[in-house]
Amino acid sequence: MDTKKFLLQENDIPEAWYNVAADMINKPRPILNPGTKEPVREEELYPLFAKELARQELNQTDAWIEIPEEVRDMYKIWRPTPLARAFGLEKALDTPAHIYFKNESVSPVGSHKLNSAIAQAYFCKKEGVTNITTETGAGQWGAAMSYAAAAFGLELAVYMVKVSYHQKPYRRSIMQTFGAQVIASPSMSTKAGRKILTDNPNYQGSLGTAISEAVELAMQTENCKYTLGSVLNHVMLHQTVIGLEAEKQMEMAGEYPETVIGCFGGGSNFSGIAFPFLRHKLTVGRNIRIVAAEPESCPKLTRGQFQYDFGDEAGYTPLIPMFTLGHTFSPAHIHAGGLRYHGAGSIVSQLRKDGLMEAVDIPQLETFDAATLFARSEGIIPAPESAHAIAAVIREAREAKLEGRPRVILFNLSGHGLIDMAAYDQYFAGDLMNYELSDEDVSRNLEGLEKII
Amino acid sequence: MDTKKFLLQENDIPEAWYNVAADMINKPRPILNPGTKEPVREEELYPLFAKELARQELNQTDAWIEIPEEVRDMYKIWRPTPLARAFGLEKALDTPAHIYFKNESVSPVGSHKLNSAIAQAYFCKKEGVTNITTETGAGQWGAAMSYAAAAFGLELAVYMVKVSYHQKPYRRSIMQTFGAQVIASPSMSTKAGRKILTDNPNYQGSLGTAISEAVELAMQTENCKYTLGSVLNHVMLHQTVIGLEAEKQMEMAGEYPETVIGCFGGGSNFSGIAFPFLRHKLTVGRNIRIVAAEPESCPKLTRGQFQYDFGDEAGYTPLIPMFTLGHTFSPAHIHAGGLRYHGAGSIVSQLRKDGLMEAVDIPQLETFDAATLFARSEGIIPAPESAHAIAAVIREAREAKLEGRPRVILFNLSGHGLIDMAAYDQYFAGDLMNYELSDEDVSRNLEGLEKII
């Protein structure tokens, strides 16, 4: 019988994270202080982030950054995660493609997000921080940060995007079970939230708004730092344990992926699976395609503009060089809440600009078609976010069938969907729809941006 | 750093199930035909079960029963599961105990139930069956059977206990995502259901009632068999992969458990973890304690009577020799829906009678206290059922602290609670309660039983 899963031992957990910026010829442009338009210095980030995280954020020289023993020790709770061959899906598609997936859904909170949550909580704790704030979309990141905060004895306040707060009450409950305080965003607890609610009392929130609120609360609370689950370079860095493990596991399988696919919101799970493989392209010229799968309704990589923009709605963050739809872009209420973000991080945006990766955008219904096929053929109900990667894989596998060639495809199953079943209910009831954007929809929020690039 | 998880490879998946009945000196008494009071012959079970499953059900001679290659191949989707040392919980309890848990929650449906679902679907398919029926309490078994049915191309109808159907809508959605038909029980679709609804229109159902409905539908449908997720000997048999893997993993850890604990509903996960270790007691006289943890509100092993009784509410099944509260016992609406069953299977009942195992009963609030402590210290939110095992472990670990002795405790984490968050919400809101039973409550439903034992 064929081997289905390629399993590592605890001592195979990587000892260092991979910092792709060190190997990029065109470095990501610097993030800018919005007042001076000068590159942000490390010290300027200290009020917001733990110092070590600020250091990691700006590091473009060290390709490898050691993972502290305490973090690796916590990773052992669920890592290494399995790499699996999707024989069931291959059979269902009748494709010659060899489809592999890294299964990050086996984490206790059900997604890859814990990889960075543990690291961020550790560095905060180490520097004597007592309180942290964060935002969450669908709740995957918030759930992860809640457990990480509990594990390191930190108090946590989570701003959860209002539409998800109501769509996904179980994720709220998970955060509360771990002891976090959860606030629906926009809220009246911050200036940013109050302004938005005054202008538009029924606004259902966005990641950009929730970030504004979390940043504001962190700045106003003593001994408090802000944490973010995506977009930033240090988050991508922590997530590279995914791809580094997968690299060893693909060797065990005796194959090398010609295409690596991840769903794309701000870039955390995508970068985690892709950067370690991209390294082979950057350093030894290996031929490999890297594909980001984003929602049709939030297509920053396929239809956005490469531009300096804020990371949040209110404009509290530094200016980030990103493929963006504009920081005031309000994404449709798709169930893949974790992908409802207006911009891509600076590294991914540079890679995209330089043609070192590709992107596809996928309609919501196609993602649920893909998710259902995957569930029935592989037994795992994927998160609506991860379903975007699966849909992109299915497109590739169908092409492989037309070609009659066994393409080797690797994707990241970033999370399971057991806490997103209301979305599946709506899909089966025929109540879900696609959200196609006109060119005007796409460009509307880009007009106000300063054209620095 | 200490090793947290003991991980096996796919070729460590057991090649045979362990049939404890073969090693028991006092064999379980036979199940009886309720009409003749004669032991049921294998052929009499054929209308209800696949022939191979009927054979396994009555087998008291072969200690090892080979696992078909096709079943082992499906097991590879998630097996072997990790054995973990609960360092976080030990620290939280400040106990010298060494606490290990077998993590069955990593299965794609979130519980151990898939171990038997896959086997039952396989044997049905192999014998040309096209349709199957089953019942489910909290939905763990139904979810597992739904995926197993999808994997083997069988049509499945699931009767789900009405209180759980409403308490746990996500589990219903999971079953539907895998393509199963789900009916709240009692329903108007069967004679058994109609009778109960006529007598008591507001009856919220029980496993016993749902079994009656599923059995009735199977008997009246062409080429259809009934499947059950617990109680029966062949189900216990399939679940022994849990303990057989754990046996190897405890060897890797260099320890041997002096106490093995599982939560107890009908006995499936308990038997799975316990029987392979009990084997050492039965065959080489090894000193080991086996403890079943059941709900205070459904205490068949601690307060029930050893008696022949029906497995279902309506009296469709053979008479089973069981510790029982009476087949008409209506358990309180605790959230551990999978433990709301009136009786224990014939093997466990015999073991209990012979003093080869122990049982404790635990109030609902203590189980949620235990679950929350476990979640915050280990990162995994347990299913309300599994929380009974954790509560029993915590009692043992506290005793170990009083003794100042490092007891080695192994328990089965039968499932995660990510789909049971409504229960946690109620717990944190103070809306959950205990259900203590008076002696009269316990004996009331026992009166009508024929005293064959």
pLDDT of A262 over the 80 cut: yes
pLDDT class for B1, splitting at 50, 70, 90?
Answer: low
Among candidate residues B414, B377, B375, the one with its CA nearest the CA of residue A176: B375
At residue B146 the predicted structure's pLDDT band, cuts being 50, 70 and 90, is very high
For residue B186, say if its preceding peptide bond is cis, omega within 30 degrees of 0.
yes
The domain limits of chain A are 3-12+76-110+234-446, 35-66+113-231
pLDDT at A137: 87
Buried b (16+ CB within 10 A) or exposed e, B238-262: bbbbbbbbbbbbbeebeeebbbbbb
Taking CA atoms, B379 is separated from A107, B2, B29, in Å, by 9, 18, 43
Measured CA to CA, the distance from residue B453 to residue B447 in angstroms comes to 14
Tell me the per-residue pLDDT of B254-305, one tens digit each, with 9 for 90 and over.
999 999 999 999 999 999 999 999 999 999 999 999 999 999 999 999 999 9
| Cβ–Cβ gap A1/B421 under 8 Å | no
Residue B379 to residue A10, Cβ atoms within 8 A: no
Segment A187-214 mean pLDDT: 93
pLDDT at B169: 86
Q: In which element (H, E) is residue A107 found?
A: none
**B35-66+113-231: CATH, from 1.10.10.10, 3.40.50.2300, 3.30.530.20, 3.40.50.1100:** 3.40.50.1100
Contact: B73, A1; criterion CB under 8 Å: yes
Mean pLDDT of chain B: 95
- Residue A395 tokens read as 């497109």
Report the chain B residue with the minimal C-alpha distance to residue A144: B379
Question: pLDDT tens digit string along B340-366?
Answer: 999 999 999 999 999 999 999 999 999
Q: What is the pLDDT of residues B94-142, one digit of tens each?
A: 999 999 999 999 999 999 999 999 999 999 999 999 999 999 988 999 9
Cβ atoms of B223 and B211 closer than 8 Å: no
Q: Which of A70, A78, A165, A176 to mutate to test the interface with B (most CBs of B within 10 A)?
A: A78
Shortest alpha-carbon distance between residue B378 and chain A (Å): 8
- What is the pTM (predicted TM-score) of this model? 0.94
Residues 161-220 of B with CB under 8 A from A: 169-170, 173-174, 176-179
State what percent of residues in chain B have pLDDT above 90. Answer: 90
How far apart (Å, rounded) are the C-alpha atoms in residues A76 and A71? 9
* Banded model confidence at residue A452, pLDDT cuts 50, 70, 90: low
Find chain B residues with C-beta within 8 A of A72's C-beta: 1
Would you give the DSSP letter of residue A329? Answer: -
Q: Helix, strand, or coil here: A409?
A: strand
Query: Could you tell me which residues come within 8 angstroms of residue A201 by beta carbon, excluding any fewer than 6 positions away?
Result: none
B319: tokens are 């008479």
Among B170, B172, B425, B426, most A C-beta atoms within 10 A, so best to mutate, is B170
| Spatial distance between the Cα atoms of A366 and A350, rounded to a whole number of angstroms | 28
> Residue B352: CB partners within 8 Å, gap ≥ 6?
B292, B301, B306, B323, B344, B359
**Assigned CATH topology for domain B3-12+76-110+234-446:** Rossmann fold (3.40.50)
Cβ-based contacts of B173 with chain A (< 8 Å): 421-422, 424-425
Tell me the C-alpha distance between A371 and A387, whole Å. 5
Nearest-Cα residue of chain B relative to residue A7: B9
d(Cα B245, Cα B148) in Å, to the nearest integer? 21
* Predicted-complex ipTM score: 0.92
Handedness of CA A381, A385, A391, A396 (dihedral sign): negative
Q: Place A1 in a pLDDT band, splitting at 50, 70 and 90.
A: low
Which helix (H) or strand (E) is B354 found in, with range? none
Q: What is the DSSP letter of B23?
A: G
pLDDT digits (tens, 9 = 90+) for B21-41: 999 999 999 999 999 999 999
Q: Is A134 left (phi over 0), alpha (psi -120 to 50) or beta?
A: beta
CA angle, residues A59, A64, A65, in degrees to nearest 5: 70
3-state secondary structure of A333: coil
